[in-house]
Amino acid sequence: MENKAISQKKLLSIAGLGWMFDAMDVGMLSFIIAALNADWGLTPEQMGWIGSVNSIGMAVGALVFGIWADRIGRKNIFIITLLLFSLASGASAFTTTLAAFLVLRFFVGMGLGGELPVASTLVSESVPAKDRGRVVVLLESFWAFGWLLSALISYFIIPSYGWKIALIISAIPAFYALYLRVNLPDSPAFSKKKVEKRTVIQNIQDVWSKDHSRSTFVLWVVWFTVVFSYYGMFLWLPSVMVMKGFSMIKSFEYVLIMTLAQLPGYYTAAWLIEKLGRKFVLVTYLLGTAASALVFGNAETTAILMTAGILLSFFNLGAWGALYAYTPEQYPAVIRGTGSGMAASIGRVGGILGPLLVGSLVAAGYSIGFIFTIFCISIVVGVVVLAFFGRETKQIELT
């Protein structure tokens, strides 16, 4: 038992550090958008496109790499995607035009989008049923450390040394990816899987077969609404703070404080998920997110703004942890990478539309309160579908 516990911790730390580097990059992007706006004089629509092209890449990456994870293994895809996003992120530091920056952000997004569902699938398949939900949520908690790192780098580096240095720092994970190749085993479920001649088309069809169509429908709706609202709100957070009258440095400081609230969000979700189930945690934390978004968007004092922002981070990231635990449990090993990747890919379509919507509505003169109300309604739609049609998967054995 001791060896298993140690290997579980080792797996969690190896996969978690990869996850942390992903979060560092995504988190830094929200600060870089604000800095690029100051440097390049971007329009709100152009700012929206930076976030959205990242999500277009994530949609493509989640689909392509999710499918390939069922063919060449979780470990190989985990390393390829980590290298892709690290190198593209570092290269984007040397761009001088928005067009070149957007092209590289697409490749960064591909790496990110492919890595996240594959890493959660790898961990899900390597951990006993009784611990699986808790461990996957703990894996997701590394996202908060990555965001925290990005907020610290953005707060201390960007104002003094510029956004280019911040992006060069984000390329460091490329070296870590090489270390992973030696140290990370592939998942037992993939290793034991019967080698059968299955085509990509067969795997995609199976995701929508009679046995899995209900689960797929629920996942696609929940993923879309969660990612649409998350990227719409969080990629714009520093910029929204500036719009509400705070200086760029002050807004970075407040977002850093809000980011700290992600950690207790994850840890409470990790504790509750094995006790009360996936659906309970997802429904409760998503409703908390919806309410916090409504208050944040309409806040008129600093105290209310900060309180709502902290609660938004707490509930939203706890929900993300539960969603990553819940998703791979809906499918058997033979299509698990494909099913998880397709759900994440549909979610990323929401991630494309969210930042673009904010940019276009801000440009059209709509209030932040109105925009955040749209995100609130979106999340409630996802909650209703999950509550009525989702199946509970607490402690089921993965096949």
* Integer-rounded Cα radius of gyration of the chain: 20
For residue 187, tell me if it sits in a domain.
Answer: no
Is residue 61 over pLDDT 90? yes
275: exposed, middle or buried (C-beta count within 10 Å: 0-12, 13-18, 19+)?
A: exposed
Q: Is residue 397 domain-resident? A: no
Do the domain assignments include residue 282? yes
Q: Give the position of tokens 């959660």.
A: 120
Judged against a pLDDT cut of 60, whether residue 1 lies above it is answered with: no
User: Helix, strand, or coil here: 171?
Assistant: coil
For residue 191, pLDDT over 70 is answered with: no
pLDDT tens, residue by residue, 130-179: 888 888 888 888 888 888 888 788 888 888 888 899 888 888 877 777 67
Pick 313 or 199 by higher pLDDT: 313
Distance between CA atoms of residues 214 and 323, nearest Å = 16
Question: What pLDDT does residue 321 have?
Answer: 85
Burial degree of 391 (CB within 10 A; 0-12, 13-18, 19+): middle
Task: Give 125 or 287, the one with higher predicted confidence.
Answer: 287
The pLDDT assigned to 5 comes to 39
- Which has more confidence, 224 or 170? 224
List alpha helices for the chain, DSSP H: 2-40, 44-72, 74-91, 98-126, 129-156, 158-161, 163-170, 173-183, 188-192, 200-207, 213-234, 237-243, 248-260, 262-276, 278-298, 302-326, 333-363, 368-389
Higher pLDDT, 298 or 107: 107
Q: What percent of the chain has pLDDT over 70?
A: 94
Q: What's the pTM value of the predicted model, to 2 decimals?
A: 0.81
Domain containing 287 equals: 2-182+199-389
| CATH number of the domain encompassing residue 109 | 1.20.1250.20
Give the per-residue pLDDT at 3: 37
pLDDT (tens digit, 9 = 90+) per residue, 242-271? 777 777 677 777 777 887 888 898 889 888
pLDDT of 381 reads 96
pLDDT in tens, 268-321: 988 898 888 889 999 999 999 999 999 988 887 888 888 998 999 899 988 988
Number of domains forming the structure of the chain: 1
Does residue 326 sit within a domain?
yes
What percent of the chain has pLDDT above 90? 26
Q: Supply the pLDDT for residue 192.
A: 63
Query: Coil, strand or helix: which one is 365?
Result: coil
Task: With respect to residue 251, please indicate whether it lies within any of the assigned structural domains.
Answer: yes
Per-residue pLDDT band at 74 (split at 50, 70, 90): confident
341 located within any domain: yes
pLDDT of residue 395: 63
- The answer on pLDDT for 96 being more than 50 is yes
Give the span between the Cα atoms of 291 and 296, in whole angstroms.
9
CB atoms within 10 A of CB 374: 18
**Does residue 193 fall inside a structural domain?**
no
pLDDT of res. 117: 85
Query: Would residue 191 count as lying in a domain?
Result: no
Pick from 277, 298, 310: which is nearest to 396 by CA? 277
**Tens digits of per-residue pLDDT, 348-398?**
898 888 888 888 898 888 888 899 999 999 999 999 999 999 888 776 766
Each residue of 210-221: pLDDT tens digit?
888 999 999 999
Identify the residue with better confidence: 172 or 205: 205
Instruction: For residue range 320-354, list pLDDT tens digits in order.
Output: 888 988 998 899 888 888 899 899 899 989 888 88
The answer, yes or no, to whether residue 15 has pLDDT greater than 90, is: no
How confident is the model at residue 399, as a pLDDT? 62
Least confidently predicted of 4-18, 111-125, 380-394: 4-18
